[in-house]
Amino acid sequence: MAIGIIGGSGLYAFAELAVREQLQVATDWGDPSSLLVCGSLQQREVVFLARHGEAHSIPPHRINYRANIAALQQRGVTAILAVNVVGGINGEMCPGDLVIPDQIIDYTWGREHSYSDSATQPLQHVDFSYPYDPHLREVLLQAAIAAGMTVHAGGVYGATQGPRLETAAEIARMGNDGCDIVGMTGMPEAALARELAIPFACLALVVNMAAGLGSAQISMAEIEAVMAERIPSIRRLLAAACSAL
């Protein structure tokens, strides 16, 4: 039994993890984004995977989400904590805040998004009414509160295709749809974990206000500054969450 941690932008390695081995894993779905870094964190077995590759070279629409989730399952992962950076749509979800979403709207297209993909695979219509695991969400929430971070205990994650950012009109429409945050990597990751029956939760870090809602242009420098400031606390928070699982 191990906990899988999927690191997004800004989280490519996990200093707190006492690394035992780094494994190149092959799956029926191809190669995962990075080596699987296996070790212990707070006495728990953890497998870390860098979603965009160790050098942040894989764009959101080219990530092999199926191989990533399958590789974690092959290594015995029975719960996944996924870290994603996002833009804030809800005016209360500001740069530096954490959000633990409870819902998803999927705007992505053309991604390999299911394991039910050929006649040789069983056709599953998995229930996805509530995409995130409530226990994992609660553990993340308590760890974030204990870390003294500003955290929103729910929200709708709108997953867009990227790699470009959205137009202001797209964000206005997403706001009307009920999205609170926007990111490019939340799907199909969460749905694939559900297909494999692996409990999954997302820890989202707001790094900018979404298009049309903050500054006239979204600045990568500002995004990177928020990530640099917050990622160390997020690593500590994840370590605390692992010890509580």
Residues lying near ligand HPA in the complex (CB under 6 A): 85-87, 160, 165-166, 182-184, 207-208, 210
Beta strands 156-159 and 181-183, pairing class = parallel
CB of 75 vs ligand HPA, minimal distance in Å: 27
Q: In degrees rounded to 5, what are phi and psi of residue 152?
A: -105, 125
Amino acid of residue 124: Q
Closest distance to ligand HPA from the beta carbon of 206 (Å): 8
For residue 174 the two structure tokens come to 């997403």
Using CB atoms, what's the residue nearest to ligand HPA? 87
Cβ at position 138, least distance to ligand HPA in Å? 25
Pick 65 or 115: Cβ nearer ligand HPA = 65
Q: Which is nearer to ligand HPA, 71 or 210 (CB)?
A: 210
Of residues 227, 185, 226, the one with CA closest to residue 33 = 185
**Strand pairing class (2-7; 77-88):** parallel
Nearer to ligand HPA by C-beta: 159 or 242?
159
Residue 39: CB partners within 8 Å, gap ≥ 6?
A: 17, 18, 19, 20, 21, 45, 46, 48
DSSP 85: E
Comparison of 162 and 199: residue with beta carbon closer to ligand HPA: 162
Question: What minimum distance in Å lies between the beta carbon of 162 and ligand HPA?
Answer: 6
Least distance (Å) between residue 135 CB and ligand HPA: 26
Would you say 86 or 245 has its CB closer to ligand HPA? 86
Closest CA to 206 of 102, 89, 55, 108: 89
- Closer by beta carbon to ligand HPA, 136 or else 184: 184
Q: Cα dihedral sign for 7, 65, 75, 34?
A: negative
DSSP 6-48: EE-TT----TTSEEEEEE---BTTB--SS-EEEEEETTEEEEE
Q: What is the nearest approach in angstroms of ligand HPA to the Cβ of residue 117?
A: 26
